[in-house]
Chains A and B, each alone.
Chain A
Amino acid sequence: MKKRNLTFYLFIVPVLAWLLFLIVLPHIDLFLSSFRVENDDGITVFSFANYLSFFEDSIYWLTFLRTAFYSISITVLAFVITFPIAFYLTKVISKKYSSFMTLLLLIPIWVGELVTIYGWMILLSDHGVINNFLIYIGVIDTPIEMLYTDFSMIIGLLYMSMLFMIVPVMSALDSLDDSLIEAASDLGASKWTIITRIVIPHSMPGIASGGIMVFMLIIGDYVAPNILGGKSSLWFTEQIYNFFLTTIDWSQGAAFGFLLLMLSSIIIWLVLKITGQKLERVGS
């Protein structure tokens, strides 16, 4: 191996410091803290109690399963809703308008989650825009209860995450040669066949990385379930927040945090395995 010059160390030292102090050590500490419990004498001891309480109290593991189930379903829903949009913007609409319409998609992302979720709160409330509109056109007489339900929570989660699906899918579709679609069409393939046999397989890398982004955002989200969800719309992150910010039981919170990290890592690992993708590709 050739001799390293100073420049190499100039680059690697800050990068190592970043990864060691902000990624590796914090997660090791998270893992260790999750086994810490204070015994009756007030001394911190090693124990599995934090994990046991997760399995003993059904509200915890039911919320865990619920969060996992909803996160996967909303990710699939986000794909179904946004795929036609991504296809339209890359393959159907003329290039002149496509860049403008793509830019419009980015505005809600950059405006930020809190503002958009607040907007949905106003839209969906009893005196909100949607209820007023429906009463005005005479579809309903009394406001429908939409805010503080699972419905409003799903809308919020979908809204803040789905745009992260479009961008990678669009870049995958961009690289699909139009002539392949033309050839299939000339040979008599139906639209459905073209979509399922050519377009979707080709854009699989984009779908996988978009799906992972969306899934991550949903499963780790706190704002949408907390602001838009009702009393029964429990979300696993809310329990972690409570342990850290309300009941101040950090080691219990650490155990729950570690469980969430395991859940998301396993699901992402499975998706990468099934679709044959690499983590490196997710970033691009």
Chain B
Amino acid sequence: MIRTLPSSPLYKIGYRIYIAIFYLFLIMPLVTISVLAFNDSNFIALPWEGFSLDWFFSDTNERLGLFADEDLLISIWTSFETGFFVSLLSTIVGTFAALLFEEEQFRFKGLLYFLALAPLVIPGVILGISILLSSTSAGIFIEDNFGIYIESLSPSFWLVVFGQFSFCATYVMLLVGARLKKFDRTLEEAALSLRATRLESIWYVTIPFLKPAIIGAFVVAFLISFSNFNTTIFLIGSDPTLPVDLYSRIKFSSTPVLNAVSFMIVTVITFSAIINIYTSRKK
């Protein structure tokens, strides 16, 4: 049953087969799209027509490859920009929140902590529509009363950034908070008794200790932002992010260039995972 207990061969084999089927189920869609990205065909699925790099490099009208498809490249770039700003904002505010809830005592702390956790249990759709509604109301209110039109309150790049930030900050808070729980508070107290200010003690003592978690949280926030669809779709302006662009292509004009993009994403993620294993093993 477990490592130290003997079990019957039949049980062991059955269990292994189940595991194998599960992993097959897991990698099947990823392998399929990756292989079909190199298919010399104008259709996204089978039959296999031979090997070709057309869907990466070709730039004819009939076959517009990934590196020639300007719209696609722009949406990938938009996703990178969005991801960068979302991670930056949520890393800063999420770390502040972690420090606040772990180290400070104040009134309504429980209520605020509950609100900070709420994005975990609010469906992404709801966050999207409620931020859309409230920012539109705010935009109308400001325009009526002050005569100023603020573009980022209507669907736009920055509204997407704020929308994604609203829940990414929660994940950062939890990741950084988990490491902060292991922090030895006496180190901070030592710094304070050596006449460091509170801010200095956090900057020179606590933050260096949290650094691995902060970097990890930045990466996690970036990945969440990069693949988010449910919240983004409502807040998007004229420039779509990659998932929104992929969605409309899947629905209305699927060509194997979708396979090529998917292949790139799968490859990058897999490589980063391998690098992650390699570096963590060296430590």
Question: Which of B22, B25, B44, B121 is packed against the most chain A CB atoms within 10 Å?
Answer: B121
Q: Which of A5, A11, A18, A253 contacts B99 (CB 8 A)?
A: A11
Measured CB to CB, the closest approach of chain B to A271, in angstroms, equals 10
B32, CB-defined interface residue at 8 Å: yes
Q: Which of A11, A108, A122 contacts B44 (CB 8 A)?
A: A122
Would you call the interface of chain B mostly helix, strand, loop, or mixed? helix
Residues of B within 8 A of A112 (CB): 226-227, 243, 265
B92, CB-defined interface residue at 8 Å: yes
A233, CB-defined interface residue at 8 Å: no
Q: Which of A45-53, A55-63, A200-208, A221-229 lies at the interface with chain B? A: A221-229
Residues of B within 8 A of A137 (CB): none
Are B29 and A113 in touch, CB under 8 angstroms?
no
A43, CB-defined interface residue at 8 Å: no
Q: Report the count of interface residues on A (CB-CB < 8 A).
A: 93
Are B130 and A88 in touch, CB under 8 angstroms?
no
Q: Which of B92, B134, B223 contacts A110 (CB 8 A)?
A: B223
Residues of B within 8 A of A94 (CB): 3
Q: Report the count of interface residues on B (CB-CB < 8 A).
A: 91
A30 to B234, CA, bound (A): 14
Are B126 and A122 in touch, CB under 8 angstroms?
no
A107 to B116, CA, bound (A): 27
A30 in contact with B277 given A5-B198, A104-B23, A115-B266 (CB within 8 Å): no
B28, CB-defined interface residue at 8 Å: yes
The B111-130 residues at the A interface (CB cut-off 8 A) are 112-127, 129-130
| 28 A-B pairs in the complex with CB atoms less than 8 angstroms apart | A11-B97, A12-B96, A14-B93, A15-B116, A23-B118, A26-B131, A81-B22, A84-B15, A88-B15, A91-B3, A92-B15, A108-B27, A108-B30, A110-B269, A114-B250, A115-B33, A115-B262, A118-B250, A119-B30, A121-B250, A122-B29, A122-B45, A128-B46, A129-B45, A159-B26, A254-B129, A257-B130, A284-B178
Nearest 8 pairs between A and B by C-beta? A220-B123, A119-B29, A112-B227, A26-B130, A22-B166, A29-B134, A30-B130, A26-B134
